[in-house]
Amino acid sequence: MAECAAVSAPQRIAALVIAVLVLAGIIVLGFNVGREETAADPSGTPSVSAVGSPSPSGVQTGEPSPADEDEVLAALAEIEEQVIAIRGLPAADIGPPDLLTRDEVREELLAAFDEDYPQEERDEDNASLRALGLLAADQDVAELQLQLLGDQVLGFYDDEEKRMVVVTDQGLDALAKFTYAHEYAHALQDAAFGIDALERDAEGQDDRGLARTALLEGDASVVMLAWALQHLTPQELLEITSNPPPDMTGIPSWLVEYLVIFPYEEGLLWAGALSRDPTSPDFEAIDAAFEDPPDSTEQIIDIDKWDPREDPIPVDGPDLAAALGEDWTEVDDTPIGQAFLRMILEYHGIELDEAREASRGWGGDRAVTVTGPGDAFAVAWRLAWDTPQDADQFVEAYNAVIGRLGFPASVNELDGGEVLVAHGSSQEILRRTIAAADD
């Protein structure tokens, strides 16, 4: 569903989930962006528990009759025209949407998940996440993503087959229309700029991939918000925000943050800062971003790092597998990035404000994860910082994390201002990892 250090299934699966978890939060944040004209500052982002999770009301049973289908298609065509007028891009030449039942959509999503996320990738992701202390031994990242997917999808845009899909047996209520406005914005993005051109699944570019997902979702959320403010009644807006959140029991907070909260909410804050007026957005700066997209989540979190643009500092990782021996295999080699770094710190018990401060000043990084005989693992993660003070602040925060990991780890400042985080499944592997990374 995403591609971070060990969540590498293609981003298009995540895009199929309209993120019902954050739709209510998007409305609230959108009003705040317009009223206060805030920049893309994550300090205003509500926590997961504060975000509403509307469920469809007026649920229908059975398949719609042909007359109902005509009415649904006419309503969706009207939304398409309204979204085109807001976004200012040519219509997407994809034909009318496919109207499917909940069961049919579930089957499609499961088939796409299995096709795009083969077992070998899942195994590598599980190994890498466990080496970062983000998954327990009995947790499986694919199963957790499917649990997060659940039955929340009301519709999606498939950028491979160039088609819109709408769930028909849930009723075309305000939430379903809200969803369609967001997803049709993705169709317009794809037709105008090419979603594949963003290369969100590029190997070894996980932080960049998350930043570009935030571009896609932030833009579509600005469109959706403007559409809602222009075309939904106050009662319909209340309907969207009035239901309790879904059951997230057992899903790690970092996974929700990575797949849902960051791309949708922080993406909206960033895109809202570029487009300004939520009722009548100006998409000139966002169009320019599609032509020259962001290269780091830092550029999404801090608008001042986007304009003027501050590029990530290149950081080299060691050939850790070779250093540890012929029975070792590299399973990940990628930048973690400022956003995921903050999520890791918070997941491991660092208070949110402290985690934000400790991840600020990030300049660049690269984490190499390897596995060896049995359940052996090692991580060598080098980080560059803007100032020595930024490095010190991170080291202090990560020292608090080390005692909670459940395996040997260390964090040390290196010559030249970089910081080395090392994990190992034993003290001896940790020692050899530090030696290889500091060579």
Helix (H, G, I), strand (E, B) or coil at 331: strand
Residues 74 and 198 in one domain: yes
* Structural domain for 291, as ranges: 11-306
Total domains present in the chain: 2
Measuring CA to CA, how many Å separate 428 from each of 37, 110, 290? 53, 42, 47
Measuring CA to CA, how many Å separate 412 from each of 56, 394, 399? 50, 10, 9
Measuring CA to CA, how many Å separate 325 from each of 24, 319, 436? 51, 11, 11
Residues 204 and 141 in one domain: yes
Question: Which of 306, 341, 365 is where one domain is finished?
Answer: 306
Closest to 105 in 3D by CA, of 10, 174, 51, 179? 179
Residues 391 and 273 in one domain: no
Residues 178 and 219 in one domain: yes
Residues 302 and 324 in one domain: no
The verdict on residue 95 lying in a domain is yes
Helix (H, G, I), strand (E, B) or coil at 106: helix
pLDDT in tens, the chain (439 residues): 333 433 433 343 333 333 444 444 444 444 444 333 333 332 232 222 222 222 222 333 345 555 588 899 999 999 999 999 999 999 999 999 999 998 898 888 888 888 888 999 999 999 999 999 999 999 999 999 888 777 677 889 999 999 999 988 877 888 889 999 999 999 999 999 999 999 998 888 999 999 999 999 999 999 999 999 999 998 988 888 776 666 778 899 999 899 888 999 999 999 999 999 999 999 999 999 999 999 999 999 999 999 999 999 999 999 999 999 999 999 999 999 999 999 999 999 999 999 999 999 999 999 999 999 999 999 999 999 999 999 999 999 999 999 999 999 999 999 888 999 999 999 999 999 999 998 7
The verdict on residue 1 lying in a domain is no
Helix (H, G, I), strand (E, B) or coil at 163: strand
pLDDT, position 208: 97
The verdict on residue 338 lying in a domain is yes
Residue 201 contacts residue 1 (beta carbons within 8 Å): no
Residues 150 and 286 in one domain: yes
The verdict on residue 135 lying in a domain is yes
Plot region of 370 (φ>0 → left; ψ -120 to 50 → alpha; else → beta): beta
Residues 51 and 124 in one domain: yes
Residues 295 and 333 in one domain: no
pLDDT, position 244: 63
Q: Is-above-0.85 flag for pTM? A: yes
Question: Which of 259, 277, 306 is where one domain is finished?
Answer: 306
Residues 289 and 402 in one domain: no
Residues 161 and 22 in one domain: yes
The verdict on residue 4 lying in a domain is no
- Map tokens 């009415």 to a residue: 71
CA distance 379 to 63: 51
Residues 301 and 326 in one domain: no
Residue 380 contacts residue 433 (beta carbons within 8 Å): yes
Question: Which of 284, 306, 328 is where one domain is finished?
Answer: 306
The verdict on residue 3 lying in a domain is no
The verdict on residue 314 lying in a domain is no
Cβ contacts of 26-32, under 8 Å, gap ≥ 24: 26/221, 26/224, 26/225, 26/264, 26/265, 26/268, 27/225, 27/228, 27/237, 27/240, 27/241, 28/241, 29/265, 29/268, 29/269, 29/272, 30/221, 30/222, 30/225, 30/229, 30/268, 30/272, 30/278, 31/278
- DSSP string for 358-390: HHTTEEEEEEEEEE-STT-EEEEEEEEESSHHH
The verdict on residue 313 lying in a domain is no
Residues 224 and 354 in one domain: no
Tokens of 77: 């065509």
